[in-house]
Chains A and B, each alone.
Chain A
């Protein structure tokens, strides 16, 4: 913010001081007053067309739109305290409902619909629009990509058009026609298949733009929301995992001005499929001759500790860059004393990066794993082939979340003792001595380090299957079993363990990371030693 000068104003009797240049709508938010609005969105240029955010400003003859009116010192704004403003909003709601179908029972947006919410909050109880008039009708249109357009529900707030024009930078949508015949039009030869186009579904305040992927999957009020970090690439977009009946049905962006603004890409939206996979290991497995036999945790952990204690010399750690920083750190601790080759690999997309033009520093990155930076900081190398090759001469092989694609069963059988920690068991890993089932990103608390060195927490969204446990828990128990410390009681303790051992993370804690994370390089020396 170039100008730090504060402006003090009053909104519905609440005094608030905001930076110069702030709009009345944003200032009111800070005063705890939500001015109802449709076309305004903090991530988009102002349009000022829905006329819902009309407020009374003392000394100004006409109502003003909060979204485009800058604050002024000593301004007195009335939102709910003004009968005139309330009437104007009620008028807008009545107008919007003229052509909006009352099909909430079959609309995906019901329950999180801004039209529904505001009509319930302050609309008229009955319309004065005679029911004999027909409503505008246009058939549902497939916009391509993941987006369906239901024009009948459209309130023409133009958020989608402005997102595509000004943020995505692809002019494929427009407002077609005039008057009450208007609708959102799409370029006749184009589709809404921009890699970031899915954001228009989130931006739509009503159920006019729908995700085909989420279509009729769940009612909004059945969903639980857990803050998380997208696992689609190394950008580290903040997201919410929406779950229904222990299944992640939708991934949506969670605003973070420093990472992803209000957006996320379509690739990231599809990551929920992997979180619902059905081929999970549900119990620890211990080798009995040539077969793996289900065991309880005590037995399996004791067996694993026995194998580790019984091995010496070189060890290989094949890890996934999608595992939590806590787990990657604890594995490093477990393998202390060995000559360790720690390796991971990253899928790199051929097309390169897919930037979102309107948000500098935001792109779908080519490295498609969330914790490449974390793994690298902890000493793991992006040298998968070398790691695989080292198995041949290793006494101990520990795999953490890596699916071992391309590794020959013979190599694994001929190598050292294999301990496998993962969510699912690939066929080649059946030669493991011990298999320890761990949870996925949706089922545990943890943290990732994004490509720009930002440590961000993710939260558990659903329970893990069967006996699967978070990898920090498994490795913590293993350390205790090895006689090298007390078991860890929580992910926060696991992170504290990391912070006390690794200077780069010094002084950090879950509490300090909070929901938005902290960028490592941006910390002052005092903060690091704190």
Chain B
């Protein structure tokens, strides 16, 4: 199988095994493919044993921050005095990221199974799957699968006859990027404006509806069932570079490569090989210029950095960027980095929730400076100003949206300064389109 193309022989196909296989979407199809065995097994285990297994696997959050999933689960109160909640973050809105959508489209039961295992582990009775509103197809597929799961007794008062009550509800997002931030997501579920909350209190103490809550990404939760099925040792062995990064990672590669799409790699896979082998290299006649490896929120890598980057959490940090969500945006030599940065900044300026001063005003200011440079009216001082504004926006706000705007723009100014200067000095024709 494989979608949109057959898996490359160097991929490690775990999560994406059934991508492109419509039969896997149904309950029967999923069970035929070994589905719900992990959930059955997990329901027979003590919740703490599930947590320990996931801890031992080294699985880290796939949403961007890379926090160890088992450790996060362990933060939940051991004595349950109030309802516990699990939120599945399926608000995949990070530009360049489209892995969770494919998981939900092709293997909805895998996500349901992962959610149920996690719910059992953290003693949550209710799971909210917060799906980005634009994912209409994914929502329809998920809802159908959910209905089937209830009909077949997988979920409900006694999940798979175990006596454990697990309910899963789908919550549709309404189009705000910020609702993918875990505390904003909780506010959104509560029916409030999707504004990130100040921490502490942390979700494990005061989460959705004020109750202990864990929020995990779709890919994280889906990975859990494979850990339960095949064991922590197997998962831990999936590591090509740093032992702290284990398992497989779905990389959504988009931009100027010959074959864009999702590629499932083992942690520690070289970025160079992902681009040139798996993705078929650059478009004919073009050369690699830059890569943003973790969705648009992380620093840009130039060609040399990208070709030496190892795709795991540590490798990306060593290269001066972050693995983030694994949404790789690849630019070839035809890309105008000034324009690209303006587009990225514009996205963040549009999506800023308007709470924090630095983010609300800073993101819009960056757009204006970049537009001014693009229109040929920039001054050399604007480049230092961009860096300084970025500095003022970094590490000072409630969530990291502000930092996410400053990181790519700041790194691009440093690494592609010549392109910015070309506009300022008149060596490049002013760009007409500003949107």
The distance from the CB of A175 to the nearest CB of chain B, in whole angstroms, is 6
Which one of A128-136, A351-359, A399-407 is at the B interface?
A: A128-136
What residues of B have a CB within 8 angstroms of the CB of A155 in the complex? 357
Q: Inside 8 A of A132's CB, which chain B residues have their CB?
A: 372, 377
Chain B, Cβ-Cβ closest to A157: B357
Residue of B nearest to A94 (CB): B392
Is B368 interfacial (CB-CB < 8 Å)? yes
**Per a CB cutoff under 8 Å, which of A63, A130, A179, A181 touches B395?**
A63
| Shortest Cβ distance from residue B374 to the other chain A in the assembled complex, whole angstroms | 14
Could you tell me if A182 and B360 are in contact, using CB atoms closer than 8 angstroms? yes
By the criterion CB–CB under 8 Å, are A182 and B357 in contact?
no
Pair B365/A98 contact, Cβ less than 8 Å: yes
Min CB distance B179 to A, Å, is 11
B-side contacts of A62, CB under 8 Å: 395-396
Nearest A residue (CB) for B378: A130
Question: Would you call B33 an interface residue if the criterion is a C-beta within 8 Å of the partner chain's C-beta atoms?
Answer: no
Tell whether A179 pairs with B397 under 8 Å between CB atoms, given A99-B361, A129-B365, A133-B368: no
Give the distance to chain B from A45, nearest Cβ to Cβ, in Å.
11
Contact check, B358 vs A92: say whether CB atoms are below 8 A apart: yes
Interface bits B327-351 vs A (CB < 8 Å: 1, else 0): 0000000000000000000000111
Task: Say yes or no for B176: interface residue by CB 8 A criterion.
Answer: yes
Task: Determine if B396 and A88 form an interchain contact, defined as CB atoms under 8 angstroms apart.
Answer: yes
Q: Does B385 contact A (CB under 8 A)?
A: yes
Across-interface contacts of A50 in B (CB, < 8 A): 356-357
In Å, the complex CA distance between A49 and B361 comes to 13
Task: Provide the residues of chain B in CB contact with A49, threshold 8 Å.
Answer: 355-357, 398
In-complex Cβ contact of A51 among B353, B364, B372, B396 (8 A): B396
What are the residues of chain A within 8 A of B368 when measuring CB–CB?
130, 133
Q: Does A144 contact B (CB under 8 A)?
A: no
Contact partner of B354 (CB less than 8 A), chosen from A87, A130, A133, A180, is A180
Of A65, A88, A95, the residue contacting B365 (CB under 8 A) is: A95
Establish whether residues B351 and A179, one from each chain, have CB atoms under 8 Å apart when the complex forms.
yes
Chain B residues with CB below 8 A from A46, complex form? 198
* Nearest B residue to A63, CB-CB: B396
- Asked whether A175 and B354 contact (CB < 8 A) given A88-B392, A95-B392, A98-B365, the answer is yes
Contacts of B363 in A (CB 8 A): 179-180
In the complex, are the beta carbons of A95 and B198 less than 8 A apart? Answer: no
| Minimum distance in angstroms from B384 CB to a CB of chain A | 10
Instruction: Say how far A68's CB is from chain B's closest CB, in angstroms.
Output: 5
In the complex, A53 Cα to B176 Cα: how many Å? 28
Bound form: Cα–Cα A175–B193 in Å:
9
Say if the beta carbon of A388 comes within 8 Å of chain B. Answer: no
How distant is the Cα of A427 from the Cα of B431 in the complex, in angstroms? 81
User: What residue of chain B has the Cβ atom nearest to residue A98's Cβ?
Assistant: B361
**Chain B residues with CB below 8 A from A87, complex form:** 392
Within the assembled complex, what's the spacing in Å between the Cα atoms of A98 and B350?
17
B352 contacts A178, C-beta separation under 8 Å: yes
Contact residues in A for B351 (Cβ distance below 8 Å):
178-179
List of B residues within 8 angstroms of A98 by Cβ: 361, 364-365
Contact string against B for A residues 421-463, beta-carbon threshold 8 Å, 1 for contact and 0 otherwise: 0000000000000000000000000000000000000000000
* Across-interface contacts of A94 in B (CB, < 8 A): 392
> Contacts A95-B365, A180-B364: A52 and B193 contacting too (C-beta < 8 A)?
no
Selected from A54, A68, A130, A180, the residue in CB contact (under 8 A) with B361 is A180
B63 is an interface residue with CB less than 8 A from chain A: no
When the two chains form their complex, are residues B385 and A156 in contact, meaning their CB atoms are under 8 A apart? no
Question: A179: which B residues are within 8 A, CB to CB?
Answer: 349-352, 354, 360, 363-364
In the complex, A174 has a CB within 8 A of chain B: yes
- Rounded to whole Å, the gap between the CB of B406 and the closest CB of chain A is 12
Residue pair B395, A156 in contact (C-beta under 8 Å): no
Residue of B nearest to A87 (CB): B392
Q: How distant is the Cα of A349 from the Cα of B369 in the complex, in angstroms? A: 59
Q: Flag if A180 contacts B352 (CB, 8 Å).
A: yes
A48 and B364 within 8 A (CB): no
B270 at interface (Cβ–Cβ under 8 A)? no
> Could you tell me the distance between the alpha carbons of A140 and B76 in the complex, rounded to whole angstroms?
48
Alpha-carbon distance between A443 and B57 when the two chains are bound, in angstroms:
78
Q: Chain A: which residue is nearest B353 at the CB level?
A: A178
> Can you list, as one digit per residue, whether each of B160-191 has a CB less than 8 Å from chain A (1) or not (0)?
00000000000000001010000000000000
Q: Is A177 part of the contact surface with B, judged by Cβ < 8 Å?
A: yes
Complex: A307 Cα to B96 Cα, angstroms: 96
> Hey, which chain A residues are within 8 Å of B361, CB to CB?
95-96, 98-99, 180
Within residues 295 to 342 of chain B, which ones have a CB less than 8 A from any CB in chain A? none
Interface check A91, CB cutoff 8 A: yes
Separation of A182 and B353 alpha carbons in the complex (Å) = 9
Complex contacts, B350 vs chain A, CB 8 Å: 178-179
B198 pairs with A180, CB closer than 8 A: no
- State the CA gap A51–B395 with chains docked (Å): 11
Q: Which A residues between 223 and 272 are near B, CB-CB below 8 angstroms?
A: none
A48–B358 CA distance with the chains assembled, in angstroms? 13
Are A156 and B365 in contact, with the CB atoms below 8 A?
no
Within 8 Å CB of B353, what residues of A? 178
Q: Which chain A residues border B395 with CB–CB below 8 Å?
A: 62-63
Q: Write out the residue numbers on chain B whose beta carbons fall within 8 Å of the beta carbon of A88.
A: 392, 396
Q: Chain B residues near A96 (CB, 8 Å)?
A: 357, 361
Q: Give Cα distance in the complex from A91 to B406, angstroms.
A: 14
Q: Are A54 and B396 in contact (CB under 8 A)?
A: yes
- Residues in A with CB closer than 8 Å to B362 are 95
A residues less than 8 Å from B176 (CB atoms): 178
Tell me whether A51 and B352 are in contact (CB under 8 A). no
- Greatest chain B CB density within 10 A among A48, A68, A174 is at A48
Q: In the bound complex, how far is the Cα of B349 from the Cα of A467, in angstroms?
A: 65
| Contact across chains for B358 and A68 when beta carbons are under 8 A apart | no
Contact A91 B354 (CB under 8 A): no
Name the CB-closest residue of A to B177: A178
- Nearest B residue to A88 via CB reads B396
Residues of chain A lying within 8 A (CB to CB) of residue B356: 49-51
Cα distance A99–B354 when bound, in Å? Answer: 13
* Residues B193 and A156 in contact, CB atoms below 8 Å apart: no
> Which A residues are CB-close (under 8 A) to B358?
51, 91-92, 95
From B354, B392, B396, A177 is in contact (CB under 8 Å) with: B354
- Which chain B residue has the least Cβ–Cβ distance from A100? B361
A128 touches B385 (CB 8 A): yes
Given A95-B358, A178-B354: A130 and B372 interface contact (C-beta under 8 Å): yes
Chain B residues within 8 Å of A133, by CB: 368
- For residue A267, give the distance in angstroms from its CB to the closest CB of chain B: 32
Q: Which residue of A lies closest to B354 (CB)?
A: A182
CA distance A334 to B354 in the complex (A): 65
Known A46-B198, A91-B392, A129-B365: A52·B357 in contact at CB below 8 Å: yes
Point out the residues of chain B lying under 8 angstroms from A54, CB to CB: 396
Taken together as a complex, chains A and B put the C-alpha atoms of A502 and B394 apart, in Å, by 65
Q: Which residues of B contact A129 (CB under 8 A)?
A: 365
Given A129-B365, A174-B193, A179-B349: A156 in contact with B354 (beta carbons within 8 A)? yes
Interface residues of A in 154-183 (CB under 8 A from B): 155-156, 158, 174-175, 177-182
Q: Which residues of B contact A180 (CB under 8 A)?
A: 349, 352, 354, 360-361, 363-364
Question: Taking the nearest CB of chain B, how far is it from the CB of A348, in angstroms?
Answer: 40
Flag if B392 contacts A68 (CB, 8 Å). Answer: no
- A92 and chain B: residue at smallest CB distance: B357
CB distance from A71 to the nearest CB of B (A): 14
Which residues of A are in contact with B by a Cβ distance under 8 Å? 46-52, 54, 62-63, 65, 68, 87-88, 91-92, 94-96, 98-99, 128-130, 132-133, 155-156, 158, 174-175, 177-182
A–B complex contacts, Cβ < 8 Å, 5 sampled: A62-B396, A88-B396, A129-B365, A179-B349, A182-B354
- Nearest 6 A-B pairs (CB), nearest first? A91-B392, A182-B354, A95-B361, A180-B364, A48-B198, A179-B352
Instruction: Show the binding face of B for A, using Cβ within 8 Å.
Output: 176, 178, 193, 198, 349-358, 360-365, 368, 372, 377, 385, 392, 395-398
Given contacts A91-B392, A95-B362, 16 further A-B contacts (CB under 8 A): A48-B398, A49-B356, A50-B356, A87-B392, A88-B396, A95-B357, A95-B358, A128-B385, A129-B365, A130-B368, A175-B354, A177-B354, A178-B176, A178-B351, A179-B360, A180-B349
